[in-house]
Amino acid sequence: MTVVETDILVIGSGVSGLYYAIKSHKLGRLMIINKLEKYESATYYAQGGIASVFSSEDSFEEHISDTLVAGDGLCNRDAVEVVVRDAPNRIKELIGLGVKFSKAPDPVDNDVVYDLTREGGHTKRRILHADDLTGREIEVSLMRAAENMGVRVSDHRMAIDLITINKVLGIKGGQDRVIGAYVLNTLTGDVETVLAKLVILATGGAGKVYLYTSNPDTETGDGIAMAYRAGASIANMEFIQFHPTCLYHPEAKSFLISESVRGEGGILKRKDGTPFMAAYHPMKELAPRDIVARAIDSELKKSGDEYVLLDVTHLDPDFTRKRFPHIYNTLLKYGIDMTGQPIPVVPAAHYTCGGVVADLDGRTDIRGLFAIGETACTGLHGANRLASNSLIEGLVFANRVAQTTEPYLGDKLPYETIPPWTPGNAVDSDEMVVVSHNWDEIRRLMWNYVGIVRSDKRLVRARRRIEMIREEINEYYWHFKVNKDVLELRNIATVAELAIRCAQIRRESRGIHYNIDYPHKDDAAWLKDTVIKKQ
C-alpha cells in the first residue's frame, strides 16, 4: 500500500481549493486532489456570477442587508460583514490572476466599466460575470495561475475517510486531531494513505442527493459526509436551496437557466402565457429564490403541468444572444430559440446552505481540519443563500484559512500509529445493481419527501427508508472492494440522512425550509442553527 506524506492535503479543486492552494503553497508541501478530471467542479458550471459592491451607487450596508434578508434571520452577521467587506479585494486579486469579467459602457459617462448584473434578492446591480460562463472563466484562470506557481492537482483521487488521532488510538472524547486521509486512486483502484498536518475540505455541495439538480456529478457531499463520520459538527442541512429555473427537456441533464436571465427582464409564465409572480411577491421574478421556487412548485401542483415558461422574447434578440451566449447556444442544440420562444423550466436542487460547521477562519471542531466553500457552514447564508454569494464566500474564506493555518504545521503527529487500509474482497459485478438501485432510490425519495415543500409524515417516511438503505450500504461497503460509485453512494446516503434529521428538528418554516405542518416562522424558539454531531 502506498503511503504519501505531505504538509497540506486540499480535497477539491473548485474555486475554494484552488484559491487556498494559490495562497498557501509556499507554507509547505501541498497536495490537492480532485475525484474526476481537471476543472470538474461546481465552480466550472456556475453561470450567473460573483457578488460584490463595485459601483458608486451601491454600498456594503446594502449588500449586507440583502444577504441578511435572504438568510431570513439565521445569518451570522459577522460572517456576512467579513465576506461583503472583503469581496472587492478578492475580486481585484482574481482580475490580477487573469480572470476577465465582462465589461460594458457606463450609462453615465460612457467609460468602459465592469458590467454588473442583478439576480433575485439583490436590490442593486452588483454581480460581476463573464458572459454566462463566469465559473468556467474563474476555474480555468485559477488553475492556470496555480499551475504557473508549481501547484499540481492530482486528478482521479477520491478521499474515502479522514484519519484522526482519536480514531486510530481508540480515544473517546476530548478535542480530536486530523492526521490525514485514505484516498482512492479511481483509475487503479489502489488506496493511498495520505499523511498530512492540515486537511482542507473544499469538496463543494450535495445537490446529487436529489433526483433533479443543477449540480454536476461531483457534488455528492463527500466533505460533509467524511467530516460527520470523523466527528465534526454539521449544521443547517435542512436548508437545501432549489434553483427556480433549470431547463425542462428529456435530454438535458442539469442545465441551469441563470437567474440573471430574470435579472435582465425574463418573465415567468404559465403554459398558457399568463405571468404569475406578481401574485406571490412584490419583487416578482426577482424575489428571493425560495419564494420563486415555491411559487413555481405551487403553480405546477395546481395545474398538473410538468413545467412553467421563462420568457425573454420581448428582449432585443441581439442583446439576448450577446449577453447569454452559452445558454442561447445550448438551448439551440435542444431545438429551442430563446429569442423567439419561451423556455420550459422547473426548479431543481442547487445549493447546500448547511455543511461542516466552520468559524470565521474556516476551523472545524477537529484540530487541523478546515472547511471552505459550499462544504462549510460559516453562517453567511443562514436559511437561504443570496444569489451569487457563493463564489465570493469561497474566495474570502480560502484567503482567511490561508492566513490561519501556518502554526498547525508545527504539530508533531503520531503517523506511526495509522493502520494500513484494509481492502474488502473483490466486487462481484452482479452486485453493482444494488448500488445503482440505492442511488436512484435515495435521490427519488429526497425529491419526493424532502423537497421544496415538506411535511412531518413525509420526513418520517424518508427517515425510515434512508436508515434501511444506510444499513444495506454499510453491509455492502465493508464486504467489497471500494470504488467511486460505492463511496459516493455511502456519502449521499449520509448527507440525505443529515438533511432529513435537520428538517425534522426544525419545527417551523424559514427560508428554504418549508414544512406544511409548521407553516410559520417561530423566532422565539428557532432563531438558531440545527447542529448534528455523531455520537
Three-state DSSP at 43 gives helix
User: Which CB atom, from 186 or from 215, has the smaller least distance to ligand SIN?
Assistant: 215
Ramachandran class of 318: left when φ > 0, alpha when ψ lies in -120 to 50, beta otherwise: alpha
* Among the listed residues 206, 162, 222, the one whose alpha carbon sits nearest the alpha carbon of residue 491: 222
Query: Does 390 sit near ligand SIN (CB under 6 A)?
Result: yes
Site string for ligand SIN, 359-388 (x = CB under 6 A): ----------------------------xx
User: Which CB atom, from 178 or from 512, has the smaller least distance to ligand SIN?
Assistant: 512
Query: Contact, 100 vs 130, CB < 8 A?
Result: yes
Interacting residue with ligand SIN among 203, 258, 364, 378 (CB under 6 A): 258
User: Which CB atom, from 201 or from 310, has the smaller least distance to ligand SIN?
Assistant: 310
Ramachandran class of 12: left when φ > 0, alpha when ψ lies in -120 to 50, beta otherwise: left
125 is catalytic: no
Query: Does 233 sit near ligand SIN (CB under 6 A)?
Result: no
Least distance (Å) from ligand SIN to the CB of residue 52? 13
Residue 359 CA to residue 376 CA, distance in Å, equals 9
Of the ranges 221-229, 252-260, 309-317, 479-487, which one interacts with ligand SIN (CB under 6 A)?
Answer: 252-260
Interacting residue with ligand SIN among 48, 180, 354, 511 (CB under 6 A): 48
For strands 153-154 and 30-33, give the pairing.
Answer: parallel
Least distance (Å) from ligand SIN to the CB of residue 388? 4
* Among the listed residues 505, 475, 503, the one whose alpha carbon sits nearest the alpha carbon of residue 490: 475
Site string for ligand SIN, 293-332 (x = CB under 6 A): ----------------------------------------
Of the ranges 59-67, 231-239, 256-264, 365-373, which one interacts with ligand SIN (CB under 6 A)?
Answer: 256-264
Least distance (Å) from ligand SIN to the CB of residue 260? 6
Three-state DSSP at 465 gives helix
Q: Which of 177, 289, 463, 465 is catalytic?
A: 289
Query: Contact, 327 vs 257, CB < 8 A?
Result: yes
Query: Contact, 328 vs 132, CB < 8 A?
Result: no
Residue 286 CA to residue 183 CA, distance in Å, equals 43
Consecutive H or E run containing 444 = helix 432-449
Query: Does 515 sit near ligand SIN (CB under 6 A)?
Result: no
Q: Grid coordinates representing 137?
A: 472563466
Residue 290 CA to residue 241 CA, distance in Å, equals 7
Interacting residue with ligand SIN among 259, 290, 297, 529 (CB under 6 A): 259
Of the ranges 6-14, 31-39, 258-266, 434-442, which one interacts with ligand SIN (CB under 6 A)?
Answer: 258-266
478: number of Cβ within 10 Å:
10
Binding site for ligand SIN (CB under 6 A): 47-48, 258-260, 351, 387-388, 390
Q: Give catalytic residue positions.
A: 289
